[in-house]
C-alpha cells in the first residue's frame, strides 16, 4: 500500500514522514490553505530528503504561470490538481499528474473518472461545498466499484486517520492512500505518533 502524506510545511515533519515509511510527500501551493508552503521553502525541504520519495505539488485551478514558476524552483515529480482543471489543462506541464475528484455520488464519480484518461492516478476525496480539499471529512467508501479499479489507479483520501485507515483499505483496496489532517497536531504541523501509527496501519 502506497502512502502519501500531504500538507508538509517544514523539514522536521517531512523527515518524520519519510522515516515513518511514507512513499510520497505533498506540498500545497494553494495560498488560501493553512498548509500553504512557499516554493523556496519547499525547495529547501526537498533538497534534504532521502532518495526514493515522490514529491507532489498540489494546486487548485492555478494559472499556468504559477505552476511553471513552482516547477522552475522546486524538484517536483508529480502534480496534483484539486480544482476544475480539464485533462488537457493538466497535461500541458509535461509531468505525471494526479486528478482529485470530490465524491458527490456514484453517478458523478463514474462520469468524472471517464474525463481524465491521461491521469496517472485519480484521488477520490470528500465533497464539502466551497472547500477543495483537506476537509477532514470521509466520503462513502462503498461507492468505489471494483470495476472502476480495473480502469484507473485510485488514491483514497478524505478524513483518514490511524483509527479508520485499516477499514478504508479493506473496503476500497486502493492503489494508495493520502492523508493530511488525520496525522496533525494542528493544520500544517504533523504529529510523529499519528504519522507512525497511520503508516503502520496502512501498510499492515
Ligand atoms: O490540505 C489542504 O489544505 C488542501 C487545501 C486545498 C486543496 C487540497 C488540499 N489538500 C489535498 C490533499 O491531498 C489532502 O491530503 C486531502 O484533501 C485529504 O485531506 P484530509 O481530509 O485533511 O486528510
What pLDDT was estimated at residue 86?
98
C-alpha span between 16 and 190 (Å, rounded): 9
In this structure, which residue's CA is closest to atom 19 in ligand 1?
Answer: 134
C-alpha span between 151 and 199 (Å, rounded): 26
Beta bridge partners of 102: 125
- Given the CA of residue 123, which atom of ligand 1 is nearest to it? 13
What does the block give as the cell for 48?
A: 534534504
pLDDT digits (tens, 9 = 90+) for 149-200: 888 999 999 999 999 999 999 999 999 999 999 999 999 999 999 999 999 9
In the structure, what pLDDT confidence band is assigned to residue 5 with cuts at 50, 70 and 90? very high
ipTM, two decimals: 0.98
Beta bridge partners of 176: 2, 155
Asked if the model's pLDDT at residue 148 lies above 90, the reply is no
What does the block give as the cell for 183?
A: 496525522
170 burial (CB, 10 Å; 0-12 / 13-18 / 19+) is exposed
Which of 7, 130, 168, 195 for mutating ligand 1's site (highest number of atoms within 8 Å of CB)? 7
Just list the catalytic residues.
6, 125
- Whether 53 and 25 have beta carbons less than 8 Å apart is answered as yes
What pLDDT was estimated at residue 165?
98
Fold of 2-203: TIM Barrel (3.20.20)
Task: Compute the distance from residue 6 Cα to the ligand 1 centre, in Å.
Answer: 7
Cβ-based neighbour number of residue 127 at 10 Å: 16
Asked if the model's pLDDT at residue 202 lies above 90, the reply is yes
Question: Stretch 127-137: mean pLDDT, rounded?
Answer: 94
Catalogue the E-assigned strands of 62-136: 78-81, 97-103, 121-126
Which of 131, 157, 198 for mutating ligand 1's site (highest number of atoms within 8 Å of CB)? 157
Pick the residue with more confidence: 107 or 204?
Answer: 204
Asked if the model's pLDDT at residue 146 lies above 90, the reply is no
What are the C-alpha distances in Å from 2 to residues 60, 118, 202? 23, 20, 8
Q: Is 183 in the pocket of ligand 1 (CB under 6 A)?
A: no
Amino acid at each position: 500500500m502506497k502512502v502519501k502524506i500531504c500538507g508538509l510545511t517544514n523539514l522536521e515533519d517531512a523527515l518524520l514522514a519519510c522515516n515513518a515509511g511514507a512513499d510520497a510527500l505533498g506540498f500545497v501551493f494553494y495560498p488560501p490553505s493553512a498548509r500553504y508552503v512557499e516554493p523556496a521553502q519547499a525547495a529547501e525541504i526537498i533538497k534534504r530528503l532521502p532518495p526514493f520519495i515522490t514529491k507532489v505539488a498540489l494546486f487548485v485551478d492555478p494559472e499556468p504561470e504559477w505552476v511553471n514558476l513552482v516547477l522552475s524552483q522546486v524538484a517536483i515529480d508529480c502534480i496534483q490538481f484539486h480544482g476544475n482543471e480539464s485533462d488537457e489543462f493538466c497535461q500541458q506541464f509535461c509531468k505525471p499528474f494526479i486528478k482529485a475528484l470530490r465524491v458527490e455520488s456514484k453517478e458523478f464519480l463514474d462520469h468524472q473518472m471517464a474525463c481524465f484518461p491521461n491521469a496517472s492516478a485519480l484521488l477520490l476525496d470528500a465533497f464539502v461545498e466551497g472547500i477543495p480539499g483537506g476537509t477532514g471529512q470521509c466520503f462513502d467508501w462503498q461507492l468505489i466499484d471494483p470495476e472502476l479499479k480495473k480502469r484507473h489507479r485510485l488514491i483514497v483520501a478524505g478524513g483518514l486517520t490511524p483509527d479508520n485507515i485499516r477499514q478504508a483499505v479493506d473496503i476500497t483496496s486502493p492503489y494508495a492512500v493520502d492523508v493530511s489532517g488525520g496525522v496533525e497536531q494542528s493544520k500544517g504541523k504533523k504529529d510523529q505518533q499519528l504519522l507512525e501509527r497511520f503508516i503502520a496501519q496502512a501498510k499492515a
